Amino acid sequence: EAQVTQNPRYLITVTGKKLTVTCSQNMNHEYMSWYRQDPGLGLRQIYYSMNVEVTDKGDVPEGYKVSRKEKRNFPLILESPSPNQTSLYFCASSLNPGIHGYTFGSGTRLTVV
Amino acid sequence: KNEVEQSPQNLTAQEGEFITINCSYSVGISALHWLQQHPGGGIVSLFMLSSGKKKHGRLIATINIQEKHSSLHITASHPRDSAVYICAVRTGNQFYFGTGTSLTVIP
C-alpha cells in the first residue's frame, strides 16, 4: 500500500532531551516536507526537501533540523525540544509538487513538558 | 498577516444541502490545494488547482486566479463529509495554509 509512515504517533518528552520523528514513504517521491499544526494557527511548513541531500527552510524552521540521506526517509530532529514545540506534526510527500497532490502521514502528537 | 483566509470558520448543514467553502489568498501562487482533515486527524489531499475547475464525485473545486479566490463545493452533503477543510497555496516551494473550515453535516 502506498503510504507515508510517521513514527511515533504519540510522544511525551522533557525539555532539552533530543528526539527524532521518523518519516518514510514507499512511493519513490522526490518531494517531502514537514508541517506543524497548532490551534488557531493551522498548518505551517517547517522544512521541505526537493530531493536527496537537498533541503530548505519553510515558514517556521527554528528549533528543528532535517536530513535527506536517502529518497524514502526524511526525519525531523529536535536537538533541544522546548514546550513551545508541543504540537501535532505531519510529514507529506509528492512525486512532483507542481503536478501531483500530496500524501500525508498520520501525524505525530508531541508534548514537551 | 495571513496569506490565506478561509470562510466560514465553522459551518453546520443539514444532510443533502449544497455547501460552499471559500478561500482567498494574497500571494502569487503556482497551485492551490484543498485538503480534508478527518476527526481522527488524518489529512487527505482532495484537489490541486492552478486554473479553472475540477470535479471528483460530489466535490467541485474552482479557482479564479485574477481574483485570488477559490471555492470548494459539496453537493448533496452527507454526515460522512463532516471534517475540517483546509485551503493551501503553493508559492515557489513553500506552502501557506488557511486555518480551516470545520464542517458538520447533521442527518
Distances (CA, A) of B37 to A44, A57, B32, B86, B105: 15, 24, 16, 8, 15
What is the distance between the alpha carbons of residues B103 and A40, in angstroms, rounded to a whole number? 16
Q: For residues A27 and B73, what is the distance between their CA atoms, to the nearest angstrom? A: 30
Reported confidence tier of residue B1, pLDDT bands at 50, 70, 90:
low
Residue of A nearest to B9 (CA): A40
Q: Which pLDDT tens digit goes with each residue over B83-99?
A: 999 999 998 878 899 99
Confidence check: pLDDT of A35 > 80: yes
pLDDT at B81: 96
Instruction: Say yes or no for a CB contact (<8 Å) between A59 and B96.
Output: yes
Q: Kindly list the residues from chain B whose CB atom is less than 8 angstroms away from the CB atom of residue A88.
A: 41
pLDDT of the residue at B106: 97
Whether B68 has its CB under 8 Å from any CB of chain A: the answer is no
How far apart CA B89 and CA A90 sit, in angstroms, is 17
pLDDT in tens, B20-76: 999 999 988 989 999 999 988 889 999 999 999 999 999 999 999 999 999 999 999
Given A44, A50, A106, which is nearest B93 (Cβ)?
Answer: A50
Q: Do A42 and B100 touch (CB under 8 A)?
A: yes
Could you say which of A44, A56, A100 has the minimum Cβ distance to residue B97?
Answer: A44
| Per-residue pLDDT at A98 | 77
Q: Look at strands B83-91 and B4-7 and give their pairing.
A: unpaired
What is the share, in percent, of chain A residues with pLDDT greater than 70? Answer: 100
Q: Could you report the per-residue pLDDT of B39-53, keeping only the tens digit for each?
A: 888 899 999 999 999
**Residues in chain A within 8 Å Cβ distance of B96:** 45, 59
Which chain B residue has its CA at the smallest distance from A97's CA?
Answer: B93
Tell me the H-state helices in chain B.
none
Question: In chain B, what is the greatest distance between 2 CA atoms, to the nearest angstrom?
Answer: 42
Q: Is B27 on the interface with A (CB under 8 A)?
A: no
- From A81, A80, A83, A87, select the one nearest A34 (Cα to Cα): A87
